[in-house]
Structure 1
């Protein structure tokens, strides 16, 4: 089987979809029945994919990575070129790039439909495109992959896609990277890197307040610091995204501004150090298709609390304490009660074992099986 994989959403490796593509491609190298993967990607991101014998690269100019230009590229140049002449199937792992004109069987990964659940997540033009144009593109696909049962239900609900043609395939994590580190050593690295030795809560997410819920997390942290005077810090790990400027202004006016630390974008190698050093990993996102950091934190032996919404409930229920992310008091209470318990209201060892079940090798094998089902049905 020869496939083409559109990889124009790598964004310098700074998003969850980028990690999905990078790690999936790496794992697919060992899957049988897959002769060649033709990667379609821009030159400024081509270094992110490890070279391998069953990979071929079609590298475009960096400007094509621009979202608008890239959508045009998928709907003009791609179907008119000969790039897809020798492939059995095209996989688009970001539904916004699904081409309207098909030259070969088409499968897409729909990670989530956040824009159907969160009003004003993006500007008006992007919301219009996502809500009015994207559904018709998704319905053009011969089969879909999604990363949670929750997202599958959303696809059926909002798009009207046939549930029997949707494969739920959980993403994996890199277990050579995400494993427990010595806590004291991890704290020493944090002290050197970020200049503080205090205990801390952490939230690993790009700074996108409307969807990722940073404002309510800050309010909960303010309440924690007011009611429990301490040297706790809040370490926010991730690059600035939509709406970050407003959140930075809010932090600047906060009574706990000196206890909020922004790391900006960091290399993946630093993440397990942060998870291992944290007193608590808080994940208050309003909406997730999967939720990598929750599983990564568990794999590093860290205590976790997270929202009781979307796929976060699916992957964490009965394992870690949950809260209503729209309720600041619930976030605060969950933080307080979890920190106050020696066992953090969760079985860390069971969470470690659970996290080990999320393996990219399994994901890759299941994705290729989805390709086979797609081709068999045509």
Structure 2
């Protein structure tokens, strides 16, 4: 079976959920018998796990809107000539679809239909996305929550939407000394809700443990300065650690040193750090939102993300519980490994 895995958003030096899905899903596909895999990325972003790569020009000096159109033409031409299965996360979607292949548009979330729309043209962007998603033959998304939203917000036929969870890389856990009280991995943007987390952490410092630490890992999308300002105002400079760039090995080390992973996000399509944290034995405290309850089920402590006291209480419960919960780890291993996710996808496409 020929499979094309395409992401023009992929960046080799950035640790994100979307990039991890591309890497680990691709590597696991390569391990399967009778699979021929081709990946499509931008120039300079070749993954180190395959040599069968099509690279498209970066067009960095061209306005983003024109660049997107050029990529749309590139991909339309490539996909029309291709036979097999295509998984593509780039938008705009191809102009035409061929009967020679089975096309899946990968959708991580539909934030452009929420208050957290980052698109420049907002309503116009969401209108275009809706029209394109309705036009594609198949959609692959990462949670039943996002599938439900695609049906409700975009009137997509549920029969053409398949769910393929994100997963974890099975690795050796070293059970290091845990010296980080709280960890949050998220880009600095409004929906990630760093403000309420820092305020709750300040209360934790005042009333529970004055020596506690909070590590914030992620790149800035416009909100980091306001978070740093709040940290200074609350006198938390010695307690809050900011990390922007990180390797997979460094991230693994931090998970293994962390007591509690906390995620106060208002909106997500999945939430990969939650299952990664559980896999490395961290306790999890997270927002009481539908997608987190779908992926973590009873294996997390839930709080209301708009309520600082509720966040504080969830953090306290998670931090005071024992780590390396066998039930949590077994749950992740039974549901979120790339081997099982890949096998389910191949079953979907008839292999």
TM-score (norm 1): 0.84
Residue in structure 2 matched with residue 41 of structure 1 by the alignment: 41
Q: 1:301 to 1:243 in 2, by over 3 A?
A: same
Correspondences of 1:85-234 after superposition (within 5 Å) = 85-94=81-90, 96-103=91-98, 105-117=102-114, 119-122=115-118, 124-125=120-121, 127-176=122-171, 179-184=172-177, 187=179, 199-208=180-189, 210-234=190-214
1:363 aligned partner: 341
Q: Deviations over 1:57-108 (max 9, x none)?
A: 21122336985455213323332x45641333432134x3422433454211
Higher helix share: 1
In the other structure, the counterpart of 2:72 is 75
Matched, 1:24 2:25: yes
Query: 1:327 maps to which residue?
Result: 307
Deviation at 1:216, TM superposition (A): 0.8
Asked whether the equivalents of residues 289 and 310 of structure 1 are also in contact (C-alpha less than 8 Å), the reply is: no
Name stretches of at least 5 consecutive residues in structure 1 with no aligned partner.
188-198, 374-378
**Separation in 1, partners of 2:305, 2:63:** 33
Map of 1:192 onto structure 2: none
Say whether the 8 Å CA contact 2:4–2:86 is kept in structure 1: yes
Structure 1 position 30, deviation (Å): 2.6
Tell me how far 1:49 sits from its aligned partner: 4.0
Quick one: which of 32, 54, 58 aligns to 1:58? 54
Give how far 1:320 is off: 1.6
Within 1, Cα distance between the matches of 2:308 and 2:250? 29
Count, aligned residues: 346
> Which range is displaced more, 320-329 or 250-259?
250-259
Q: Residue deviations 1:14-50, cap 9 Å, x none?
A: 321111111111111133453x33322112211x241
SS in 2 for 1:44: coil
Once residues 265 and 63 of structure 2 are traced to their aligned partners in structure 1, the CA distance between those partners, rounded to angstroms, is 26
Aligned to 1:191: none
Contact 2:199–2:308, Cα closer than 8 Å, also in 1: yes
Q: Does 1:249 align with 2:229?
A: yes
User: How much is the aligned-residue C-alpha RMSD, in angstroms?
Assistant: 2.4
Supply the distance in 2 between the matched residues of 1:170 and 1:82 (Cα, whole angstroms).
Answer: 27
Uncovered stretches (5+) of structure 2, i.e. residues with no partner? none
Q: Following TM superposition, by how much is the alpha carbon of 1:229 offset from its aligned partner in structure 2, in angstroms?
A: 4.7
Q: Which 4+ residue blocks in structure 1 deviate beyond 4 angstroms? A: 64-67
Q: How far apart are the structure 1 equivalents of 2:78 and 2:298?
A: 51
Distance of aligned partners of 1:213 and 1:234 in 2 relative to their CA distance in 1, 3 Å threshold: same
1:351 aligns with 2:328: yes
**Retained in 1: the 8 A contact 2:5–2:38?**
yes
